[in-house]
Structure 1
């Protein structure tokens, strides 16, 4: 009996460790919850050229340094030496907080969203090494590595995808 309890306890501990390892890396803004105060300067570590692998190909992002209350970035997915799609991205100061906005484009620069529409992610939480937008997290791992976690798909089949980027150094 004691052996059964020990094995059961060990399995329960393993399950909780695995569950924590697979815990969501994104947050959601609760209904009525306001975004926290933040400024674009808090994300200056994001500036630069980043490359990694995700979505079955090579992913690349370029982020300009903060200026005029915003940062602008571009994203490109390359699969089998062909561009699958692009994104234009901005993080900007709005109402004493931050919002991440983007637009998608096919390989021929024809837009996915309607002309006046953007995909918007409100800020949920920010700290020295991470910005948690609603369904989209940007985390600084080191000066030369960042991870982005994005919730993709449609209800009820949402999934969190990780993008692991390394800084592309000049030269």
Structure 2
């Protein structure tokens, strides 16, 4: 029963977010245009511990400093006092640009993706305070606030996640 209620809450939240999102803040990668040149220092402002609310719960996301050609992160969503899911991933320097890779895990650390697979999002371009990846945009609002815009292919909706330090 709680699972059904949680799923309905997620769909409702996605619906509300889609109504309140007037501008498209995400881009889709185009093979013909490729990726702009970028290095991890371009997005190093993401380093730190961030918190926010999403999907009827609270989340925490931690980003490491750029070292070894990588910025690693972990994410945890908690709703009704229980872990809903985790994410582990990184942004890496690759081919004179960046690549954002994610793996998801349930509350028992069972992976959603196949063992040797990850969800990969190619870098597109940088603009002032924004870094555009395929279906994701990281926006620096201030030193203590970030918006992450995510486009979900299945629902064809864009959702904004607000992170604060």
Q: State the TM-score, normalized to the length of structure 1.
A: 0.82
Give, in angstroms, the shift of residue 128 of structure 1.
Answer: 4.2
Q: 1: CA distance between counterparts of 2:94 and 2:153?
A: 27
- Structure 1 segments (4+ residues) deviating >3 Å: none
Query: What do the CA deviations read for 1:22-45 (whole angstroms, capped 9, x no partner)?
Result: 111101112422101000111111
Map 1:19-168 onto structure 2 (within 5 A). Answer: 22-154=22-154, 157-167=155-165
Task: Work out whether residues 45 and 143 of structure 1, in 8 Å CA contact, stay in contact via their aligned partners in 2.
Answer: yes
Over alpha carbons, which structure has the higher Rg?
A: 1
Q: 2: CA distance between counterparts of 1:141 and 1:61?
A: 17
Query: What do the CA deviations read for 1:144-165 (whole angstroms, capped 9, x no partner)?
Result: 00000111241xx311111101
Gaps of 5+ in 1: 1-18
Give, in angstroms, the shift of residue 96 of structure 1.
Answer: 0.1
Query: RMSD of aligned C-alpha atoms?
Result: 1.4
Query: What do the CA deviations read for 1:63-118 (whole angstroms, capped 9, x no partner)?
Result: 00101111000011111111000000100000000010000000000000001110
Give, in angstroms, the shift of residue 129 of structure 1.
Answer: 1.8
Gaps of 5+ in 2: 1-18
Task: Work out whether residues 122 and 133 of structure 1, in 8 Å CA contact, stay in contact via their aligned partners in 2.
Answer: yes
Task: Work out whether residues 24 and 160 of structure 1, in 8 Å CA contact, stay in contact via their aligned partners in 2.
Answer: yes
Q: 1: CA distance between counterparts of 2:108 and 2:145?
A: 30
Alignment partner of 2:149: what SS? strand
